[in-house]
Amino acid sequence: MQTGNERTQNPELHLSRVFDAPRSLVWEAWSKAEYVKRWFTPAPLTTPRCEVDLRTGGVFYLVMKMPDGLELPMDARFVEVVPQERIVFSATIHGGVEVHTTVAFSDEGDGKTRLDVHQVYSHESDATRGAPQGWKATLDQLAEVVRSIR
Amino acid sequence: MSTADQLSAAFSALADPTRRAIVARLARGEATVTELAKPFAISQPAISRHLKVLERAGLISRGRDAQSRPCRLEVRRLKEATEWMNRYRAHWEASFDRLDNLLTDMKQEKTHANGK
């Protein structure tokens, strides 16, 4: 059971950006591996492998390569895909921490597009208890704790 | 343990609401098992098990006093966990800078293609 307190916690990671391009073009940049390769991995990391099957249940796999040669794979799956509206993908990292990412597309007028990214962290044990919200609240709380003792 | 393993242990330890509450309590100062058990409707042995998990993850340490063994928060590990989060934000910001550039390129490519 979730407590009311946990449910009202702010999302873990939320950021937005407005792009000077129409929605169809921004969607295209997400929908093809050749494009995703060119933007998803921040420099100086490179993307030696990238697979994007942008549909519900599709694979979102990429390997990010660090300058020292270390490869960091991201093995995600698209949980929900609504063309030019919404992309939800989920990946498991660090042995059991699940990262659930929602990207919402919206028009900003003048041919501009806004992306809202909302990233939630849950843990397998939380999920099996039916309380994935608990984890997303955790790091907000931790951030507060760290600030208070700094 | 590698950094990733340590983070994993910290995240696993913090996935439990009781352990998060213990961490929040310890952020206010050291406490003994008895003190920590008070606000929870669970036994001291159960609290002790939670403390072991937190200790293994490097999130808390225990005092040497054999009687009370007060627990204290290991702030460094907690900071590592939150810094890891901040890196995710930085990742997105950097990726979106690149997406911005790519979209400019894509628009130009399309203009050229249409102009032919």
A111 C-beta neighbours (distance < 10 Å), count: 13
> Which of A140, A149, A150 should be substituted to probe chain B, the one whose Cβ sees the most B Cβ atoms within 10 Å?
A149
List phi, psi (to 5°) of A90.
Answer: -135, 135
**Chain A contact set for B20 (CB, 8 A):** 134, 138, 141
Q: Does residue B100 sit at the A interface (CB-CB below 8 Å)?
A: yes
- Among residues A139, A123, A76, A141, the alpha carbon closest in space to that of A103 is found at A76
CATH architecture label of B3-85: Orthogonal Bundle (1.10)
Could you report the predicted ipTM of this complex, rounded to two decimals? 0.72
Of A96, A131, A141, the CB nearest to B8: A96
Among the residue ranges A27-36, B69-78, B86-95, B101-110, the one predicted with the least confidence is B86-95
Instruction: Give the chain A residue whose CA is nearest to the CA of B28.
Output: A149
- Between helix B44-56 and helix B17-26 the angle, nearest 10°, is 80
Residues A65/A47, Cβ–Cβ less than 8 Å: yes
CA distance B96 to A49: 19
Domain ranges for chain A = 12-149
Instruction: Give the chain A residue whose CA is nearest to the CA of B83.
Output: A143
Instruction: Give the chain A residue whose CA is nearest to the CA of B77.
Output: A146
Rounded to a whole number of angstroms, the CA Rg of chain A reads: 17
According to the model, what pLDDT value does residue A8 have? 25
State which fold the A12-149 domain adopts. Answer: Alpha-D-Glucose-1,6-Bisphosphate; Chain A, domain 4 (3.30.530)
Q: Does residue A41 sit at the B interface (CB-CB below 8 Å)?
A: yes
- Residue identified by tokens 């990429």 is A62
Domain ranges for chain B = 3-85
Highest mean pLDDT among A36-45, A125-134, B17-26, B44-53: B44-53
Q: Is the pLDDT of residue B61 over 90?
A: yes
Q: Burial-class residue A31 by CB neighbours within 10 Å (0-12, 13-18, 19+).
A: middle
Residues A21/A112, Cβ–Cβ less than 8 Å: yes
Q: Does residue A38 sit at the B interface (CB-CB below 8 Å)?
A: yes
In DSSP notation, B36-89 reads HHTTSSS-HHHHHHHHHHHHHTTSEEE-S-TTT--EEE-HHHHHHHHHHHHHHH
Query: Before A44, cis peptide (omega within 30)?
Result: yes
Q: Does residue A98 sit at the B interface (CB-CB below 8 Å)?
A: no
- Long-range contacts: B42-49, Cβ < 8 Å, 24+? B42/B18, B47/B22
Beta bridge partners of A14: A118
pLDDT in tens, B5-15: 666 677 778 77
> Which of A16, A129, A138, A147 should be substituted to probe chain B, the one whose Cβ sees the most B Cβ atoms within 10 Å?
A138
CA distance A128 to A116: 28
pLDDT beneath 70, residues of chain A: 1-12, 93-97, 121-150
Beta bridge partners of A17: A115
- Among residues A117, A118, A124, A122, the alpha carbon closest in space to that of A139 is found at A122
List phi, psi (to 5°) of A67.
Answer: -55, -30
pLDDT in tens, A89-106: 998 765 556 788 999 999
DSSP state of A131: -
According to the model, what pLDDT value does residue A54 have? 97
